[in-house]
Structure 1
Amino acid sequence: MTPCVIFDLDGTLADTSTDLVAAANVCFDAMELSEAERRLARLDPVSDAGVAVRGGRRMLSTGLERAGRLSDELIDAWYQPLLDAYAGALDVHTVMYPGAVEAVERLRRDGYAVGICTNKPAAMAEQLMRSLGVRDLFGSLIGADTLPTRKPDVAPFWAAVDGCGGSRGASLLVGDSDTDHKTARNAGVPSLLVTFSPEGDGVKALEPDATIDHFDELAEAVRRLIG
């Protein structure tokens, strides 16, 4: 039996928010908006970081709502252009969170299988992980479009566990959001949420099984939860 730790990507392993916001703003700049609407729609890489890690559609809907132009048609029309803009510049500002690489390497040395389950499109997640030089640390990577469903459905989580050779009976999910918490709950496994993401200490209100303020705390927390 190989205990297994599955990680979310955006806001958990890597700080991707600045590049995500930049891609959304490329779209807002190209839309047929008035200058006043454009100023309202554009996202801020700091204050809107929490919006960014919730995905492309959330960024579009947030900006368009602020500009008074929210519509499903505009979101649908600009979602693929947003993905294209992001794919062309997804590693300009993105970095792994402090201690993340060392924490994953330690888990591997301690005998844990490790994988990624993200709601980012799989090809983009693969591209980003390879650009950051860390793809080979993970035995599996399941993206939003790998299967017909995405988190919080349990199928992607179990696919990540199975893909990295982990045991379903000794696995947990490390994430930063309500979606990750619900995924773990639906799978009947512990949830461990990080507080250094844009959500900050707010994740504690979700009552996860554990939280960490820095990746230095990960190994001990994992041992407490799954041995």
Structure 2
Amino acid sequence: MRKTVVFDLDGTLADTSGDLLAAANYCFRDMGLGDVLSPERDSGVALRGGKRMLTVGLERTDRYSLETVEAYYPVLLKAYGETICAHSWIYSGAMETIEALKSRGFGVGICTNKPEGLADQLLKELGVRDAFEALVGADTLPVRKPDPAPLVETVARLGGEMPHTVLVGDSDTDRNTAKAAGVPSILVTFGPSGEDMAALMPEALMSDYAELPEIVERLIGTA
């Protein structure tokens, strides 16, 4: 049975915080609040998703309500989709390492809490969509990470099995997803929340994509 390496997207494969923050600030300007979030302060917030950005910004301006978050979430998604790749980039070495894993026989896919359509759009605009055989997003199934079902679905689409899978991510969501699915997790330390990853006690930490093939083979063996 094929062995598989599944990646989170935002904060793991690509730094997308700039475009996410721009979409959130579009909403805050529409509310008359100006640009509430900044790249210097809030990159980590951005990688927690649209609703989290709206929540943090509204709390910061004493305007929070769940109704406002829900009302502006579609606005944020629309704004993000219109300018999804102006300030986003793939982390150094990621695609070279992914091609190396594929050449060794590993199946490679993405399991993200970004809506599937936006994830597909972003990967295409970054020019890397064809590198991934499977893509499961936040709305592909009725549940999202940390429920293990999206990860299980990604692995199934790759033709793999859970005992021969590893999840690469950048957050407690990814750590908890892997734990719930009974697979090892590798958490990256080069993202905005990198200093917090060790406390989550993953099976491995990764500071550079060049380290990944050795870590994968140590955790699940050769393909």
TM-score (norm: length of structure 2): 0.97
| CA distance, structure 2, for counterparts of residue 180 and residue 49 of structure 1 | 18
CA contact (8 A) 1:173 1:184 kept: yes
User: Does the 8 Å CA contact 1:140/1:163 hold for their aligned counterparts?
Assistant: yes
Give the drift of 1:46: 2.4
Structure 1 stretch displaced more, 54-63 or 157-166: 157-166
For residues 153 and 130 of structure 2, the distance between their equivalents in structure 1, rounded to whole angstroms, comes to 18
Which of 137, 143, 157 is equivalent to 1:143? 137
Q: Deviations over 1:3-45 (max 9, x none)?
A: 10000000000000000000000000011x4xxxx25x61001
Who is 1:14 aligned against? 14
Paired position in structure 2 for 1:121 = 115
TM-score, normalisation: structure 1: 0.96
Matches of 2:163 and 2:56, distance apart in 1: 39
Q: CA deviation at 1:184?
A: 0.2
RMSD over aligned CA atoms reads: 0.9
Question: Which of 91, 96, 106 is matched with 2:90 structurally?
Answer: 96
| Seq. identity, % | 55
Unaligned segments of structure 1, at least 5 residues: none
Q: Does 1:191 align with 2:185?
A: yes
CA distance in 2, matches of 1:184, 1:178: 10
1:62-81 Cα offsets, whole Å, 9 max, x none, are 00000000001110110000
Q: For 2:157, which of 154, 157, 163 is the aligned residue?
A: 163
Residue segments in structure 2 that go unaligned for 5+ positions in a row: none
What is the CA-CA distance between 1:168 and the residue it aligns to? 2.0
Determine helix, strand or coil for the equivalent of 1:47.
helix
Q: Does 1:84 find its partner at 2:78?
A: yes
| CA deviation after TM superposition for structure 1 residue 167, in Å | 2.4
Structure 2 letter corresponding to 1:2: R
